[in-house]
Amino acid sequence: MEYHEPDHTWTIWCDSYESFVETFVVKGRFHPLVPEAVVNSYKVVEYIMAHSYYFYPMYDEAMLRLMGIFEMAVKNRCTELKIPLKGLNDKIVLKEKTLGELIKDLHKKEQGKQLYAQLDWLRRVRNLLSHPENYGFIGGNIRSSVQEVVNVLNKLFLSESLLISFTEERKRMAALFKIFSKNLWVLSYEVDYYLVEKCSIRKAARVENKWKYLLVAHPVYSNFASALSEHKYLPLFILGIENIEVKGNSFTATDIASGLSISIQKSSKDKDMLVYKKHLSDWEAADKHNRFIYTHSADMDIGHKESDLDYQFLYQSDTHNSSLKNR
């Protein structure tokens, strides 16, 4: 029965097999345009993750398997776009193109998707995992990377025009929200309110003809100097929202997760402005290294939430706008 004994390592994060599956098994969520071969192959990745509950290092094998699926998906997409999988080398001999060459060809064909950096990152991960110098494993820490690969696979088979529309909508909303990117604001949520700054829209996706957005607002600290020196940060306000209405110096929206209304407006209280002035002063006086760590930590949190929004909605995107002629 040794192969059916739970690995105690997972108890750091999970208290049962059910909570482990909920937390660490990234389910395959794919829209209808993703080839059946990719979808079926990913099911194996799910089972590898699920069975790593009995042996923690096994989780890494899920990523290794996923890199093979990624390469297969790139070749599938090239075939759909009539990109040859073979080409002439320097000796004018017809040979299989490398994965790097296929990714460059895809980028030339669908530049508007802006996928090159992600595809090239996965190519390098594939090379690293395929040719290890030493044995090692990362385990559940790569869960977010597995999720991001699922997102990339979905984007790979969505039409260029659809993803361009997402980018254009994000830019439109970013321009609309420029007024909220500076100064002090009050974020109201349920019965509480919070002082925030640097409010922005970071993502947009259309699902069933309705736009979903990712709102980011940075908290204002009463003692920013202590937080920066001790590296103890308040969580950013990173919310999936919809039904945005901007009116002058305020806006309202609906939180997707809870269905509750949120709003951002200017504060009219002198005491709030005093807190904000101290917050800005603490930032200016802070050590450059501490400011870098805070900024990097915030960017990491935002990146994870951007990936979460893609994972939640990309497979439900309006794929009827992805016409076969673009494939």
pLDDT digits (tens, 9 = 90+) for 257-271: 999 999 999 887 899
Residues 232 and 134 in one domain: no
Mean pLDDT of all residues in the chain?
90
d(CA 255, CA 271): 28
Query: What tens digit of pLDDT does each residue of 12-50 get?
Result: 999 999 999 999 999 999 999 999 999 999 999 999 999
Confidence of residue 319 (pLDDT cuts 50, 70, 90): low
CA–CA distances in Å: residue 117 to residues 42, 157, 164: 22, 16, 16
Q: Residue 72's closest CA among 153, 143, 128?
A: 153
Query: What tens digit of pLDDT does each residue of 282-294 get?
Result: 999 999 999 999 9
Residues 129 and 230 in one domain: no
Residues 181 and 111 in one domain: no
Residues 19 and 146 in one domain: yes
Q: How many domains does the chain have?
A: 2
Chain centroid, CA 225 distance in Å: 30
- Asked whether residue 320 is assigned to any structural domain, the reply reads no
Confidence of residue 3 (pLDDT cuts 50, 70, 90): confident
| Residues facing 215 on adjacent strands | 201, 239
- Asked whether residue 266 is assigned to any structural domain, the reply reads yes
The pLDDT value given to residue 325: 37
What would the mean pLDDT of 210-220 be, rounded to a whole number?
95
Residues 253 and 203 in one domain: yes
Residues 146 and 236 in one domain: no
Residues 28 and 90 in one domain: yes
Residues 171 and 133 in one domain: no
Query: What tens digit of pLDDT does each residue of 74-130 get?
Result: 999 999 999 998 876 666 667 888 999 999 999 999 999 999 999 999 999 998 887
Backbone angles phi, psi at 171, to 5 degrees: -65, -40
Residues 35 and 176 in one domain: no
Residues 119 and 210 in one domain: no
Single pTM value for the model = 0.88
The pLDDT value given to residue 275: 95
- Asked whether residue 185 is assigned to any structural domain, the reply reads yes
d(CA 19, CA 181): 38
- Residue 190 lies in domain: 167-315
Name 258's Cβ contacts closer than 8 Å, sequence gap at least 6. none
Judged against a pLDDT cut of 80, whether residue 155 lies above it is answered with yes
Measured over the CA atoms of residue 70, residue 76, residue 78 and residue 84, the dihedral's sign is positive
- Asked whether residue 267 is assigned to any structural domain, the reply reads yes
**Which helix or strand (DSSP H or E) is residue 263 part of?**
strand 261-265
User: What's the chain's length in residues?
Assistant: 327
Residues 142 and 286 in one domain: no
Residues 27 and 125 in one domain: yes
